[in-house]
Amino acid sequence: MRTQVVIVGAGPSGLLLGALLAKAGVDAIILERQSEEYVLGRIRAGVLEQVTVDLLDEVGVGARMHREGMVHGGFDLLFAGQRHRIDLQTLTGGKSVMVYGQTEVTRDLMDDRKAKGLTTLYEADNVQIHQFDSANPYVTFERLGKPHRIDCDAIAGCDGFHGVCRASVPKSAIQEHEKVYPFGWLGILADVPPVAHELIYANTERGFALCSMRSATRSRYYVQVPLTDRVEQWSDERFWEELRLHLDPQARETLVTGPSIEKSIAPLRSFVVEPMRFGRLFLAGDAAHIVPPTGAKGLNLAATDVKYLSQALIEFFVDKSEVGIDHYSQRCLRRVWRAERFSWWFTSLMHQFPDMGSFGQKVQEAELDYLVYSEAASRSLAENYVGLPLNFGE
């Protein structure tokens, strides 16, 4: 087989890249190690920045999102027992975010790719990338017990933190930056109405909590837990009781509980690799960087990566110019580090750390108090939360 671009990974970033390239007439084959059902079973974030919404519209898959998603013009910060609303639209000149689950984004992109007859090969085992430091890269894999090879001009590594693409780069050619946080998020998904119409980010002496949702009838809740905790230690009843202890009186009254349909503990880390390009191999999304989920930057950052990458590859194939691919890594990393800074700051502000004590808690509450009563500070939070424009600072 031969194609112009092999995209490794059929998550939302790989599928979005495939859609952007297809629209420009650039051929791409997507390889995915897991089954289609497994990919759709992943439970992930659900807050989309305007940039991501616009990209989904650009490739023609936004109709269901606009029909079923929920536009949020603000969110609440809860600290010292009281809630304070951050009015995103007022602070950013009318911008908002869209609550629409990553699983639904993936489904929409999958369905669109199928309808257009574009090639996605699921259950591709033992994927290996070769000669990506030359003008003639290729990818080998096994499928249905048979070996295969795809020759190409470029490889896009959209295969996540544990994928083969970044792991194939020589250690001497890559620099890793990492911060591991000393806690995780215990999250549950339940078919109950949300406790509020918008998200609530809670800072308490018991730690962080987040009240989120996937729809008007499906809620997603999180509480901070030690990394030593295991899901088996947390019954549904224990989780709901712990969540109540993080909420204000009004939220406790309106909280509806029910059986969980998914429960997991996610560790938190900040992670960036530099550069994001190695010859004809380009990393995007979680293959290149991880942000803590505080502030919901992961999927949105991946979406902007693939927008930049699609522009660079279209320039390469259509305009016969290497300027875009030469600047891809630098362009992405400037935006990546801005998002890393915001996610680190928001995480540091909202969580209990082992050594912070009562002094640290009071300092957090003082900063939050300043944040909600200072228009300048609120605006900074709001503009980062809704997402910086694609060309910010360029």
> Active-site positions?
72, 201, 293, 297, 385
If phi > 0 it is left, if psi is from -120 to 50 it is alpha, else beta; for residue 207 that is left
Residue owning tokens 């085992």:
125
* CA nearest to 101, candidates 16, 43, 50, 51: 43
* Integer Cα distance of 283 and 278 in angstroms: 8
Q: b or e along 267-294 (b: 16 or more beta carbons within 10 Å of the residue's beta carbon)?
A: ebebbbbbbbbbbbbbbbbbbbbbbbbb
* CA nearest to 368, candidates 203, 215, 233, 213: 203
Q: Is 388 exposed, middle or buried (0-12, 13-18, 19+ CB in 10 A)?
A: middle
Strand 28-31, strand 5-8: pairing: parallel
Strand 154-157, strand 281-283: pairing: parallel
**Residue 265 φ/ψ, nearest 5 degrees:** -115, 125
Using alpha carbons only, give the angle 355, 361, 363 rounded to the nearest 5 degrees: 110
* Integer Cα distance of 257 and 176 in angstroms: 42
Residue 186 has a CB neighbour count (10 Å cut-off) of 25
Q: Are 127 and 148 in contact (CB under 8 A)?
A: no
Q: Are 100 and 69 in contact (CB under 8 A)?
A: yes
